[in-house]
Chains A and B, each alone.
Chain A
Amino acid sequence: MAAKADTAEVCLDDPGCATEQKLYLSLALGYGQRSNPLYDGEELPLILLPEVYYYGENWFFDNGKLGTSWALSEQWHLSLVSQLNSEKGYFQKWFGGNVFQFSQSFTNASISEERIGPMQASVHEISKRPTAVDAGLQLDWFSDNWQVQSNVWQDISNTYQGQHASISVGRYWENAFGRWQFIAKLNWKSAKLIDTYYGIDNNDPFYLRRYNGKPSWQPELRLSWQHPLSERFAVLGFLRYLHLDDAMTDSPLLRTNNITTWFFGVSYRLF
C-alpha cells in the first residue's frame, strides 16, 4: 500500500544546495574588489553583494544564470542555460552582468584622453563594446564533496558571434573554521569573442595599434569560505584569480595578465 502525495525533501543548510520551489535571497555587506585588466579600467568595488537563486521543478535561476535542467542520473545533470556575457563588465562598471542593472557607460570614444603610450590603448579611447547574451549547455557531475562542471556557450545576441567554454573541478569540505570550496577552472574563449572585446579595428580611433583577437585559454582558481553565525547570518569570503594568456595580453588594451577578485563580509539571508 502506498499513500499518494508529493515527496517532501529536506535541504541541508548548505550554500551549495537548494530546495526546489523556494526563493533564496541573501545580501552580503563587506568590502572587496574585482581588478580591471584594462588601461584606465576601473576596479569594481564590492560592497553589497546579492545572491539570488530559485530552482523550480523544471527550470532555475541562479545568480544571473537562467536554465532548465535534466537529471540524467543521481550524479549527472545536463542543463540548457543562458546568461549575460561577462566581458562587458570590464568596459562598463555598472553592467548588468555585474549587478543586475544597467547604467551609463564610461567607455565613450574620445581622443581627448592623454595617451598612455604608443603601444597601449585606454578603455576611454575605444568604441563601445556590445552587451551580449549567451546560451549553451552545461554538464554537471556531483559526488558528496566533488563537482565537475563543463559549459559550452554560444552568442545568441548576434554581437560577437563567437563561443566560449569552460571546465571546472570543485572540492567542498568543512572544518572548524567553516565551509570551504575550492574550484580549479579552465576557460576557453574564441577568437571572435576576444576580437570583439579586446581587438582594435577600424571602428576604433585610427591612431591606436590594430589588434586582431586570437583564441584565449584562461585558467582560474577560486577559493570560497563561509562560516554560519546563526540560521540567517554568516561570515563569508572569497578569492578568485583568473590568468590571462598572451591572446589577451597582446591586446593594446591590456595592462595586466590577470584579474583578481576578493571579498570579505557578513551575509544575511532574507529568504
Chain B
Amino acid sequence: MQSFWLLLALSGMTTQHDLPVNCDANICWDVSPQICVTEQQKQSCQSQLQLHWYSDTAQNTCLYLAEQKLQCWQNVTQGHWKQKLSWENAALTLRSPDNQILLQTELQVLSRKPARRRLSSPWSIF
C-alpha cells in the first residue's frame, strides 16, 4: 500500500453467514465496502472486499470484477467471497453462465483531496 487509505462501507457490513436484509428480489447481494478512499489522488487503494449473494433458487453463477472472472459457483442458492484487492473504479457483477448480468455494483476509488488546485485565483477576471 502506497498511502493512507480509508474504507467506507456504504452497504453495511454483514457477518459471513448473514443473509442480505431487505431483499425483495429473487437474487440479492451485499457488497462491502463499495468505496475505497485515498488521501491523495491516483494513489492505489487496497482493501479487503467481501460479498455475499443469495437466491431463491439454485444458480450457476460467476463473479466478475470488470471483465476479470474471480470465482464461480455451481447449483447453489448462496455464495460468499472475500479477498484483498488493489482496486480502481470498476463494476462488480454476478453473471449467469450465458454472461447475463444478475447483479451489479460499482466499486469506486475516491480521493479526500481536491481533484486539482486551480491555477488562477477565484473571481480574478478583473
Contacts and interface: CB of A to CB of B under 8 A. Distances in A.
Interface of A: 1-12, 14-20, 28, 34, 44, 46, 49-51, 53, 55, 60, 62-65, 67, 69, 74, 77, 79, 81, 89, 98-100, 138, 140, 142, 147, 149, 170, 181, 183, 222, 224, 226, 236, 238, 261, 263
Contact of A261 (B85, B90, B109, B126): B126
Contacts of A74: 40
20 contacts: A3-B87, A3-B89, A9-B115, A12-B112, A15-B118, A15-B122, A17-B114, A18-B116, A19-B114, A51-B122, A55-B116, A64-B120, A77-B117, A98-B125, A140-B117, A140-B119, A147-B117, A149-B119, A170-B121, A183-B121
B122 A9 contact: no
A62 B41 CA distance: 21
B67 to A, nearest CB: 8
B100 interface: no
A12 B120 contact: no
Contacts of A50: 125
Contacts of A67: 119
A169 B63 CA distance: 52
A49 B122 CA distance: 11
Given A17-B117, A98-B126, A263-B123, A3 B85 contact: yes
B31 interface: no
B123 A20 contact: no
Nearest to A2: B86
Interface in B36-70: 40-42, 65-66, 68, 70
Contact of A224 (B85, B109, B117, B122): B122
B125 A64 contact: yes
A11 B115 contact: yes
Given A1-B83, A65-B120, A98-B125, 9 more contacts: A3-B88, A5-B90, A6-B88, A7-B41, A8-B89, A11-B115, A44-B126, A62-B120, A74-B40
Nearest to A26: B123
A147 B122 CA distance: 13
The 3 closest A-B pairs by CB, nearest first: A17-B114, A3-B90, A62-B120
Given A44-B126, A263-B123, A17 B115 contact: yes
A50 to B, nearest CB: 6
Interface string B25-42: 000000000000000111
A1 B119 contact: no
Given A8-B110, A9-B41, A12-B114, A77 B87 contact: no
Contacts of A89: 126
Contacts of B107: 3
Given A17-B118, A20-B116, A224 B90 contact: no
A252 B27 CA distance: 83
A2 B87 contact: yes
A31 to B, nearest CB: 13
B14 interface: no
Nearest to A19: B115
A227 to B, nearest CB: 13
B119 A77 contact: yes
A55 B126 CA distance: 20
